[in-house]
Amino acid sequence: MNLLKISWSNIRFRPLNTLLSVVLLAFGVGIISLMLLIKDQISEKFDRNIKDIDFVLAAKGSPLQSILANVYHVDAPTGNIKVADAKRIVRNPMVEKAIPLAYGDNYEKFRIVGTNKDYPDHYGCEVENGKIFEKPFEATIGYEVARDAGLQVGSTFTSVHGFDRAAEGDPDAHHHDKPFTVVGIFKPSGCAIDHLILTPVESTWLVHEHHADEETGDTAHSLDHPEDEEGHVHDEPSPSDPDGDKEMTAYLLIKRNKGAFGMLSKQTEDTTMQLANVAVENSRLMNNFGIGLSTISAIAMVITILSFISIFISLYNSMKDRKYELALLRTMGGTRMKLFALILSEGLILVVLGYVIGLVLSRTGLLILSKTMKENFHYGFDKLGITPYEFLLLGITLLIGIVASLLPALRALRMDISKTLSNG
């Protein structure tokens, strides 16, 4: 027998009141904590993907889309640009580094990105197993690709045209014949490479040239003499190709000096290309996103306030119903402070219950959301630990419990037992 046992029995004795208070609080806490988790993890993931990339050079269209497609790998690209056109900008002295990206295919919904070694290097991605791709149709894959598509070093796979089409169960999916060989798997890095298949730019060109004209010469040539390609990929990134009609989806640019955006942007004016400023687009994205989160958080706050009122009313009513009980406790040796503590602890038990259930809800929500996001974008939320915000949230919920139970507890403290018992 102790105080907590008595308060717990009292709480269980009024299951409907308890349920209402706890459920409201759990939803309030759950939604707030879910929003915090999402916001934290998304901005962390986004920041990791941005990592010093200043501009994206891609086909004209929505600049935001070109960032989404090429930096975060969640949207479809705006189109292709000609390597010959891009050269002017990519080779501009104001550009310190330009990383080429060429899309077009997927394997099991994982995007195949034609690029060069600069791309994983930029993100500090290291190969855990095997090596980095060197020749066309060699692929180094993210650890999620390896895990979810069941690929290992030495596995081969054929790509499917498009971004999100699954290979199986879709008769319209166009398979390419030439298989890719996995030559390496990256260590988990937390950025988009985790769910990408990287291959030399040439692979994507070859796949699609082959597809376009069914002409074998060019393809056969590179396939027959892959060693020709090797040094080439390494020494000179694709822009220096004897390009002809070669196309690229985008270039990720890192500027050398300030003010580069305006100057470079000017050079795209008469072309089919545009330059998107990552920082600007990202802050626009985060703002929009933030408005959404704030709206949901505001709703959660209203729910939390309702739970506060519910706890208050529930304790206050139960205090009134139990006034004889409380007087009885006094006649049996219970002090005023003990009654005060009893009511207060009932309030605190309610909020702690609500808080814990709320955290469970937010984790469940996060996992469900993460699953949907993974299916659609290969982005998941995997951090389920308690965040510092949630300690703050605990503090706030405890405060809610204390404030809501204070008035009923004070009434218990001040109660005139003689009067209460005489009216019985």
User: Contact at 8 Å (CB) between 229 and 60?
Assistant: no
Residues linked to residue 57 through DSSP beta bridges, in sequence order: 251, 275
Q: In the 3-class helix/strand/coil scheme, how is 275-289 assigned residue by residue? A: EEEHHHHHHHHHHHH
- CB burial class (10 A; 0-12, 13-18, 19+) of residue 368? exposed
Instruction: Please give the size of the binding site for other proteins, defined by CB under 8 A.
Output: 28
Q: Which of 217, 259, 333, 385 binds other proteins (CB under 8 A)?
A: 333
Find the binding residues for other proteins in span 110-139 (CB under 8 A): none
Q: Which region among 47-55, 93-101, 184-192, 330-338 touches other proteins (by CB under 8 A)?
A: 330-338
CA distance 203 to 207: 6
Q: Which of 32, 253, 329, 366 binds other proteins (CB under 8 A)?
A: 329
The DSSP 8-state label assigned to residue 72 in this structure reads I
Task: Centre a 10 Å sphere on the Cβ of residue 367 and count the other Cβ atoms it contains.
Answer: 13
Q: Is 317 in the site for other proteins (CB under 8 A)?
A: no
DSSP H/E element including 177? strand 175-186
Nearest to 81 by CA among 72, 90, 94: 90
Q: Which region among 6-14, 21-29, 121-129, 159-167 touches other proteins (by CB under 8 A)?
A: 6-14
Q: Is 325 in the site for other proteins (CB under 8 A)?
A: yes
Q: Which of 330, 362, 378, 401 binds other proteins (CB under 8 A)?
A: 330
Q: Is 424 in the site for other proteins (CB under 8 A)?
A: yes
Task: Centre a 10 Å sphere on the Cβ of residue 220 and count the other Cβ atoms it contains.
Answer: 12
Q: Is 16 in the site for other proteins (CB under 8 A)?
A: no
Q: Is 41 in the site for other proteins (CB under 8 A)?
A: no
Tell me the closest approach of the beta carbon of residue 196 to other proteins, in angstroms. Answer: 59
19, 120, 155, 160, 333 from 134: Cα distances, Å: 62, 13, 16, 21, 84
Q: Which of 216, 283, 331, 376 binds other proteins (CB under 8 A)?
A: 331
Find the binding residues for other proteins in span 337-356 (CB under 8 A): 337-338
Q: Is 322 in the site for other proteins (CB under 8 A)?
A: yes
Residue 236 CB partners (closer than 8 Å, separation 6+): none
Closer to other proteins by CB, 53 or 315: give it: 315
Q: Which of 16, 177, 270, 332 binds other proteins (CB under 8 A)?
A: 332
Residues linked to residue 196 through DSSP beta bridges, in sequence order: 111
Q: Is 30 in the site for other proteins (CB under 8 A)?
A: no
User: Contact at 8 Å (CB) between 69 and 281?
Assistant: no
Binding site residues, other proteins, CB under 8 A: 1-2, 5-6, 9-10, 12-13, 322, 324-325, 327-338, 417-418, 421-422, 424
